[in-house]
Structure 1
Amino acid sequence: MGNNGPSRRAFLLGAASFGGLALSGCSAMVGNRQITVPNLLPAIISPYYLQIYGAMPEERFPVPAVDLNKVDQRYLRTEVDDPTGEKPGTIVVETSARFLYLVQDNGTAIRYGVGIGRDGFTWSGRGSIGRKAQWPTWYPPASMMQRQPETREFAGGMPGGMNNPLGARAMYIYRNGVDTIYRIHGTREYWSIGKAVSSGCVRLINQDVIDLYSRVSVGTPIIVRG
């Protein structure tokens, strides 16, 4: 999994650091399976999570540490038994559960928490990663500029940076070789993970999107299940 990858042992140690105070969790459908994800009390944070969600000063635009007390613990990056049934190397986004899975070749998957688009701005289907970019330029779609005239200021593009809506990395979803205009991207608003507030894209904590970006390549298949 690499030095930055999650492990079952690390996750269990993280859970143990909560003194065994796992609460009854929420249920969600993943494919045709119902899973229960426990809520963990955030009073004590595992050193493992403090490390992987720590500051990243080496980035072109330094990424600050995540205040983990502002993130629902169920959405932190971890390794789980693969619930998707898809082939290794596939990205699966389960919008109802607010999870993104990267399927591994050992019957497991890396699970990331995501934020998704509001009702009416969501997309689902099969595609692939058609392009990748670090600290990408953001171009507001024409439909967004109609809904939100203030975004017209950036019709020529907003350069990468911490204030850019695409965050530290972006992976562009294509279908049949055509850009769908939907992206997997980062966000500095880590408190929004698990919620539906964006205009259609799948967003991750910047530390998580940097990790995912390092593990996938152009051509990686992606399935978004609405």
Structure 2
Amino acid sequence: MLTRRAFTASAVAFGLSACAKPPAAPTTRAATTPPKAPPLPPFYGAITDEPYPIPAIVDATLPPKHWRQTVPNPWPKEPSGTIIVDPDAGNLHVVQDSDIALRYGVSVGAEGFAWAGVARLQFCRDWPRWKVPAAMIARQPDLARFSVANGGMDPGPDNPMGARALYLFQDGVDTLYRIHGGAEARDIGRAVSSGCIRLLDQDVIDLHDRAIHGSKVIVLTSLAPQGLGTVF
């Protein structure tokens, strides 16, 4: 039998429960996990059969758009072996045939030192010496010890030319511009060098093995606005 006291107690309890606030909703959302970068192709692994060791490229440091890959040929009228550098895309293409080209990611000349034009691939070198041009020594006098007169810098891991170099000439005259290795993955697609075209050592070795001596090299003129710190 429900007594007055029991009724009153139950009514108070009901009133309290009816007026109680519902549990508060979470004030923060669960953290979302960013998409994981795809693993690099095996050919970006360490190379141990060269005169100097070449470390592996670290995953997620090189965007897929700058991986070495076969692509539709943007320049079908150019003969096989032609090398075309697009500084605004941060890519270098080697024409395979009218339909396909091989594409590499590159780092190109920073503002004020960029070069464009048509040249001839005169010759290539394995683990080249770095012979600093006089114009660069004028800007950085501490590099004088690596001048042409002093024999340049010995090849090796600290040499900015990297594992291979392709030498560009115009009308039989050295342009002093090179396509070479030694690039860092974080610099691929950026305008950071003093005019030369730099690739990862893994890529420049592959390019060197495919290069045809005497082939045409085209470096397109950059259309990027000046002074913006070009990053591709």
| TM-score category, normalised to shorter length | 0.7 to 0.9
Deviation for aligned residue 1:42: 5.5
RMSD over equivalenced CA pairs, Å: 1.3
Deviation for aligned residue 1:72: 2.3
User: Is residue 2:89 matched to residue 1:94?
Assistant: no
Deviation for aligned residue 1:188: 4.5
Identity of aligned residues (%): 44
TM-score, normalised by the number of residues in structure 2 = 0.76
2:37 and 2:59 in contact (8 A); partners too: no
User: Is residue 2:45 matched to residue 1:54?
Assistant: yes
Structure holding more strand per residue = 1
1:135-154 map, 5 Å: 135-154=127-146
Aligned residue type for 2:173: V
The residue aligned with 2:67 is 76
The residue aligned with 1:15 is none
Runs (4+) off by over 4 Å: none
User: Is residue 2:213 matched to residue 1:218?
Assistant: yes
The Cα offsets for residues 12-61 of structure 1, whole Å up to 9 and x where unpaired, read as: xxxxxxxxxxxxxxxxxxxxxxxxxxxxx652315xx1x11011100011
Mark the structure with the bigger radius of gyration: 2
Deviation for aligned residue 1:127: 1.0
1:91 and 1:223 in contact (8 A); partners too: yes
Match of 1:45 among 21, 39, 49: 39
1:47-196 map, 5 Å: 49=41, 51-85=42-76, 86-105=78-97, 107-155=99-147, 156=150, 157-196=152-191
What stretches of structure 1 of length at least 5 have no aligned partner? Answer: 1-40
Aligned residue type for 1:120: G
Length, aligned pairs only: 183
TM-score, normalised by the number of residues in structure 1 = 0.78
Provide closer, same or farther for how the CA distance between residues 127 and 42 of structure 1 changes in structure 2, counting only shifts above 3 A: farther
The Cα offsets for residues 170-220 of structure 1, whole Å up to 9 and x where unpaired, read as: 000111111000000001422211101110000001000000000013211
- Write the distance in 1 (CA, Å) between the matches of 2:141 and 2:185: 26
1:118 and 1:198 in contact (8 A); partners too: yes
1:42 and 1:73 in contact (8 A); partners too: no
